[in-house]
């Protein structure tokens, strides 16, 4: 009986269905998020030397790192291969920037340094966070995390710009967009991307063709076990509620990303031989 009432409410009450879709997206994301998420805070103490002192407090899951004058917090993501770093300062300020490979990091000295850390596969910048993704789930986070913290602290201490070029926002509204595309982009920006960015990733609009919305998942969303569920149970439901013309949502990759992935796989295979 409860199911029948719920079904009737969804079909006949637009306001109810809006909140049903909204919470469907949120619950889908947070379900996978809180399965693994734990917060680890890194606090720095003012020091005149560049030496680093690490103190682990038993039972707390917290490691205090005395390294320069910066407090950095790390946060697990739904993707076990990705870790989110929050320096307590703006990173891009607005927008996101994805570095799927070392060759894509020419415009950012910080991204280049992070790629020099053994085991790092990709780097992602958000408004106030940095997501680092490792090559394999079996690779330990210990050394990657330590070197990444040092690199991030040193970068923000230097005062260098985060990028040397202009950040291009692929999902930004354009005068050339038709009405449906404009609504899709607005929904992504206002209702979907903030939730996804909270988990260290982002959703980039890549096109709309014959009822199919094409999206690219970046940051911690890349290769995440829950990404397919998020697309179908969360994002697709939300878009279909507002836009009847949307039939389905499809995940896509850029041609450059596919080439980079192949080159990286070939390199990994050669190293293992």
Q: Please report the pLDDT score of residue 259 as a whole number.
A: 42
pTM over 0.75: no
Residue 111: what pLDDT? 96
* Pair 72, 43 in one domain: yes
Q: Is residue 64 part of a domain?
A: yes
Q: Which of 102, 129, 158 is the last residue of a domain?
A: 158
Quick one: average pLDDT of 122-147?
91
Nearest of 70, 61, 24, 21 to residue 43 by alpha carbon: 70
Long-range contacts of 16-19 (CB under 8 A, 24+ apart): 17/241, 18/241
pLDDT of residue 71: 84
185 and 131 within one domain: no
Domain count, the chain: 2
Domain contains 109: yes
* Res 128 pLDDT > 70: yes
Residue among 202, 254, 175, 198 nearest 95 (CA): 202
Do both 86 and 134 map to the same domain?
yes
Same structural domain, 26 and 101: no
Residue 52 resides in a domain = yes
DSSP secondary structure letters along 165-224 = SPPP-TT---TT--HHHHHHHHHIIIIIHHHHHHTTEEEEEEEEETTEEEEEEEETTTT-
Give the pLDDT confidence score for residue 55 in this predicted structure. Answer: 44
Q: Are 88 and 70 in contact (CB under 8 A)?
A: yes
| CB-based contact 131:152 (threshold 8 Å) | no
For residue 169, what pLDDT is reported?
Answer: 54
pLDDT at residue 3 is higher than 90: no
Helix axes of 2-12 and 14-36: crossing angle, nearest 10 degrees: 120
Task: Give CA angle at 257 (253, 262), nearest 5°.
Answer: 115
133: its two tokens: 């993704």
Tell whether the model's pLDDT for residue 74 goes beyond 60: yes
**Domain limits for position 187:** 14-33+171-257
d(CA 64, CA 62) in angstroms, rounded, equals: 6
Q: What is the CATH number of the domain that holds 23?
A: 3.30.300.130
Provide φ and ψ at 270, rounded to 5°. Answer: -65, -40
Q: Does 6 map to a domain?
A: no
**Hey, is 32 helix, strand or coil?**
helix
Report the sign of the C-alpha dihedral through residues 113, 114, 120, 121, in that order: negative
Max Cα distance, the chain (Å): 69
- Whether residue 42 sits in one domain with residue 25: no
Residues 183, 77, 249: CA angle, nearest 5 degrees? 30
- pLDDT, tens digit, 9 for 90 and up, residues 149-207: 999 999 999 989 998 866 655 556 566 678 899 899 998 888 888 878 787 878 888 88
């Amino acid at each position: 009986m409860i199911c029948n009432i719920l079904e009737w409410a969804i079909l006949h009450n637009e306001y109810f269905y809006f909140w049903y879709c909204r919470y469907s997206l949120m619950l889908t994301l947070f379900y996978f998020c809180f399965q693994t998420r734990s917060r680890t805070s890194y606090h720095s103490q003012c020091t005149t030397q560049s030496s680093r002192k690490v103190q682990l407090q038993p039972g707390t899951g917290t490691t205090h790192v005395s390294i320069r004058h910066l407090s950095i917090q790390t946060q697990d993501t739904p993707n076990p291969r990705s870790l989110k770093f929050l320096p307590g300062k703006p990173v891009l300020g607005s927008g996101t920037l994805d570095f799927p490979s070392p060759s894509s990091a020419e415009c950012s000295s910080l991204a280049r340094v992070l790629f020099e850390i053994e085991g790092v596969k990709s780097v992602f910048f958000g408004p106030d966070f940095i997501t680092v993704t490792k090559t394999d789930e079996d690779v330990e986070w210990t050394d990657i995390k330590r070197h990444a913290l040092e690199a991030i602290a040193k970068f923000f201490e230097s005062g260098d710009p985060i990028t040397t070029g202009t950040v291009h926002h692929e999902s930004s509204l354009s005068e050339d967009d038709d009405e449906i595309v404009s609504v899709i982009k607005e929904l992504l920006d206002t209702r979907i991307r903030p939730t996804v960015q909270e988990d260290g990733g982002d959703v980039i609009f890549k096109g709309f063709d014959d009822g199919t919305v094409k999206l690219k998942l970046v940051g911690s969303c890349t290769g995440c076990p829950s990404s397919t569920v998020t697309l179908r149970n969360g994002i697709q439901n939300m878009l279909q509620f507002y836009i009847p013309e949307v039939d389905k949502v499809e995940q896509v990759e850029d041609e450059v990303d596919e080439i980079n992935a192949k080159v990286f796989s070939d390199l990994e295979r050669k190293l293992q031989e």
